[in-house]
Structure 1
Amino acid sequence: MAKAPNFSPPPPQQRLIGYARVSTGDQFKDTQVDELRAAGCHRIQQEHGASASSARPVLAKLIKELTAGDVLVVVRLDRLARSVSHLLDVIENLEERGVHFRSLRDPIDTSTPQGMFSLQVLGAVVQLERAVIVERTKSGMKAAKARGKLAGNPGLRERRPEAIRTVSLARERAYLNELIASAQTWLPTVRQLRPQHSWDNVVLILNRQGHDWTVERLRRAVHRMAREKLVEPELLARSPRRPPEHRLMRIVAGIAIADPELSLRDIAAQLDQMHERPPRGGRKWQPSSIRALLDEARRFGLMRS
């Protein structure tokens, strides 16, 4: 009797998920989305922001949503990471979750042996670069010591006021530039919620979007922007001790505006975590209560229909 042929099931089709980061000045001429669609990406997430910004909340949220077997696709490596070391960290995170990575214009595809080899070469280059920097630093310090000189800024070492002031101003400028570059990823949420809601609640919502704020850091950032007259000083006003009228409606609207993809149950879970009590009593929020507050927010013009 002839042996029945052994048919193996076809491998599961990979989900190609595209990620595009569009700089503010290039958003009208950028072709990343078209290239990702042509490559077969059925879902594409876009991040809008200045290239100097290190904040990538859309990417952080997307990585958390990817599952084993998915492939994260970008047009170029610089669209994903701000440095080679950052790129390797992101890919290592993806690999630990069973997610592959592919760059359309670079020879990087972690689902193929050739792509993994290219990635290993990149890693070796980073290690070599770090070793060279360390060796140069040690050689420079040794040579300076042989000439009777101490490493570092002599003005700072001697605590000269002008040197300390120069370094302090440089740090302040760098800090402000970083805030301005990343503002569009967090400032709209702050404007939506402050000062009606506490800094703790604002930080909780921002971190749900993929940020890593603390209350102290966020207050300092808003203070700095207000000092430069880049934001309204009213954002720094003290939150009311007693809940204002329609307080819950504003909280729900703020959460929904910050992340439009959240379901009614997701919003209810956030309110439970914030220890907000439902308007009609009870311990847990229900989707029907969320829907009613969202409808009310639309009637008051806080949200678009």
Structure 2
Amino acid sequence: MRKADVVVVWKLDRLSRSLKDLLLTLEKIEEAGAGFQSLTESIDTTTPAGRMMMQIVGSFAEFERAMLRERTRHGLEAARKDGRVGGRRPKLTQQQQKEIVALITSGQKTGADAARLFRVHPSTVVRLLAKHRQGPG
């Protein structure tokens, strides 16, 4: 960044996640002699009013992110109370897991063979066997 350059962003929240970080970034831009412009918030930091507006908009952007984080957390808690679990579905059903453990512990198949048979990565079989060895829990 050189003197008289202008850093342009589409939206302020794309530049920074917190007001503190935003202000540090803007300070570095200012120290380099460059300006800052946000296309959607109409902010120009080359004027005192523009700098003040930047701080106000930055505060609102941080507040909006905090509210989103809180709503997401509450939504996940409500989903857990309803018995829903996040994440993707298991690669193997409980029955398939039992079959793999039985095939390997009986010596009928190796871990690699079982992985190929059930079309999963060998590390999935390794994790399954480790979990089986630990017992319930």
**What is the TM-score with the length of structure 2 in the denominator?**
0.48
- How does the TM-score come out when normalised to structure 1? 0.24
